[in-house]
Amino acid sequence: MLQDYLIPETVEQALSHLQGGKGRARVVAGGTDLLLDLANGKKEAGVLVDLTRIPGLQEITLEDDLIRLGAAVTHNQVAKSKLIQEKASVLARAARSVGSLQIRNTATVVGNVVNAQPAADAAVALVALGAVAEVVSPSGKEYIPVEKLYAGVGKSVLDSTSQIVTRIQFPALLKNQGSAYERLEQRKALALPMLNVAVVVSLADNRFQWARIVMAPVGPGPVRATEAEAILTGADVSLGNIENAAAAARAQANPRSSALRGSREYRLEVLPVLVRRALEAAVVRAGGNC
């Protein structure tokens, strides 16, 4: 049963409140998933520690070519941010795909990550951007790649009773880099994605310097299509190479059949189409051509 709701003014106070909760305290910012889980009895907490009043955690900043998102930054902030639209458009597009306007105004991007759902829109885009989470605990601060935060479906490697993700950061995209986001859903509003794909590419002389291709839900978390990425690295930008990469991504995916998201066979059929579309769009945004 919830007994207290605390609003710290510093990260240090938040950590102190977590420790004082003796394993029954949880942090909250947007709360769109946590509060529902508490109401439904899926999770328990005696104390909630609200991060939204801590200075700086509501901000999107650019420092030394790194974009930083505070723990209280909402999806709508990200979707509307000129900085994100210009320097990380894949994340802006993903954030616009989440839920309703009411949810986007409340749900935080960090929450989208720490809930560890395999098809979370923002998380898929963040993995493609090479994002890392700034994690604080009583023992100090560490930086963990977002793609390493998943211990299983809905399970994070983080200890929610002692660790807080204060920010997520990633490099701002350069002029020769482009990104794209593709999503397959049953309807346009409030739908969980049947599939989503995020891509970031870097080009030089119409060749791929590197590519990050991230797919979901085809595993316990967002999945890097590493074999497809290897095909593109150093290769000419061409429809043939993109088709080969899309086929390799399909071979690496392992979706399961789902009443909500469609059959395994159908999603494996559609996945390479989404990968191809995303790669072609990212190439154009990076100044290349097929």
Q: What are 10-31's pLDDT values in tens digits?
A: 999 999 999 988 888 888 887 7
Give kind and range of the element (H or E) at residue 89.
helix 89-96
CA dihedral 275, 237, 130, 111 (to 10 degrees): -30
**Domain boundaries for CATH 3.30.390.50 within the chain:** 177-285
**Domain boundaries for CATH 3.30.465.10 within the chain:** 60-171
Task: Specify burial of residue 159 (Cβ count, 10 A radius: 0-12, 13-18, 19+).
Answer: exposed
Lowest mean pLDDT among 84-93, 98-107, 127-136, 164-173: 98-107
pLDDT at 105: 83
pLDDT category of residue 278 using cuts at 50, 70 and 90: very high
Spatial contact of 193 and 217, defined as CB atoms under 8 Å apart: yes
Q: What percent of the chain has pLDDT over 90?
A: 73
Q: What are phi and psi of 134, to 5 degrees?
A: -90, 115
Token pair for 168: 């997520």
Q: Which CATH architecture has domain 4-50?
A: 2-Layer Sandwich (3.30)
Q: How far is CA 219 from the centre of its chain?
A: 15
> Does residue 99 surpass a pLDDT of 60?
yes
pLDDT at 31: 74
Mean of per-residue pLDDT scores for the chain: 92
pLDDT category of residue 125 using cuts at 50, 70 and 90: very high
* Integer Cα distance of 68 and 82 in angstroms: 14
Using CA atoms, how far residue 277 sits from 81, 126, 251, in Å, is 24, 19, 17
pLDDT at 190: 53
> Does residue 189 surpass a pLDDT of 80?
no
> Does residue 34 surpass a pLDDT of 90?
no
Is 60-171 a CATH 3.30.465.10 domain?
yes
DSSP assignment letter at 23: T
* Integer Cα distance of 271 and 256 in angstroms: 13
> Does residue 38 surpass a pLDDT of 70?
no
| CATH of the structural domain 177-285, one choice from 3.90.470.10, 3.30.9.100, 3.30.390.50, 3.40.50.2300 | 3.30.390.50
Q: What percent of the chain has pLDDT over 70?
A: 93
> Does residue 215 surpass a pLDDT of 70?
yes
> Does residue 37 surpass a pLDDT of 70?
no
pLDDT at 36: 65
Using CA atoms, how far residue 48 sits from 2, 51, 136, in Å, is 8, 10, 17
Spatial contact of 118 and 220, defined as CB atoms under 8 Å apart: yes
Nearest to 171 by CA among 203, 205, 137, 200: 200
Q: How far is CA 228 from the centre of its chain?
A: 20
Mean pLDDT over 102-119 rounds to 88
Vertex 149: Cα angle to 146 and 32 (nearest 5) = 85
Lowest mean pLDDT among 141-145, 152-156, 230-234, 257-261: 257-261
Nearest to 119 by CA among 240, 17, 255: 255
Mean pLDDT over 189-196 rounds to 76
**Domain boundaries for CATH 3.30.43 within the chain:** 4-50
Give kind and range of the element (H or E) at residue 66.
strand 66-70
pLDDT at 275: 99
pLDDT category of residue 42 using cuts at 50, 70 and 90: low
